[in-house]
Structure 1
Amino acid sequence: MQERRPVGWWVRRLDELLEEGLDAVVGAEGLTRRHWQVLQSAVDGPVERAALHAALASFAGPAEVDGVVAELAGRGWLRTDGGPLSATDEGRAAHARLAAAVGAFRRSVADGLSEEEYARTVAGLARMVANLERALGR
């Protein structure tokens, strides 16, 4: 029965499980997947708020992203002094603490897939997204 489910069902179910699993991994620090995404973006280098909104648009609206930014700034993990957002030393340390666990979680998602199978899966999904974006005129 499961094999007959359409790709949309599988994509949605995978996203639900990714959300739940990553929330569990970062939950020890009182964080959610959104917190991790924002912190990851800031650790990679200063990021403009508009660019962060655009990068996370598929996951959360600007108000939710701004709320997460405020929470991380309140912990002293982000600088939000009117310019681009950037991670503080404390934010980079928190990121480092979490990175190994997040990496292990990500590897568990692809358990049993060869690198080639994983790459083909991602490429297939990317092609489906491109097909739909083109069909919808985006």
Structure 2
Amino acid sequence: MDVERPIGWWVKRLDTLLEEALDSVVAGEGLTRRHWQVLHSLAGGMDRESDVVAALADFSGDAGAIVGDLAGRGWVDRTEGGALHLTAEGTAAHDRVSRAVGRVRRHTADGLSRQEYERTVLVLTRMVENVERALGRE
């Protein structure tokens, strides 16, 4: 392992690999990682399109267009009030894809204790907060 590389290189490399791994496991459903993120957000209780778009704003891709694609597949319904919810087909798709994504997550954390994983997330969270503060985005 090349420990001389800066944290930014490792973060970018991990993100690239996660994108590739997740895209590969969701491709069988004709999805991308962004589709998974939208589908999972809706399965997790998010029910406003504006909330989904805001939650995924830091990721590339048009979350609104992805909601439209999922609706076109019959996986998402929009109510008259503008709320979104998964259909039975959407819930079944989420369950199928969730199992595959779970395997990627387990492989990603392989060899890490729960405490190491939690500590890593805590360290990355603090680093993000530090940079946001330095940029005046508190």
Does TM-score exceed 0.5, indicating one fold? yes
Say whether 1:37 aligns with 2:37: yes
1:84 is aligned to: 83
For structure 1, which runs of at least 5 residues remain unmatched after alignment? none
SS at match of 1:86: strand
TM (norm. structure 1) is 0.93
Determine if the alignment matches structure 1 residue 53 to structure 2 residue 53. yes
Identity within the alignment, %: 58
Alignment correspondent of 1:22: 22
Match of 1:96 in 2: 95
Aligned to 2:70: 72
Which residue type is aligned with residue 100 of structure 1? Answer: R
Structure 1 residue runs of 4+, over 6 Å off?
Answer: none
Q: Is the 8 A contact 2:46 2:52 kept in 1?
A: no
Give CA deviations for 1:15-59 in whole Å, capped at 9, x if unaligned. Answer: 011111000011111100010001111112242111111100111
- Where do 1:117-128 residues align within 5 Å? 117-128=116-127
Number of residue pairs matched?
Answer: 136
Alpha-carbon RMSD across the aligned residues, in angstroms, is 1.3
Structure 1 counterpart of 2:114: 115
SS of the residue corresponding to residue 2 of structure 1 reads coil
Q: Could you tell me how far apart the structure 2 residues matched to 1:12 and 1:110 are?
A: 17
TM-score, normalised to structure 2, is 0.93
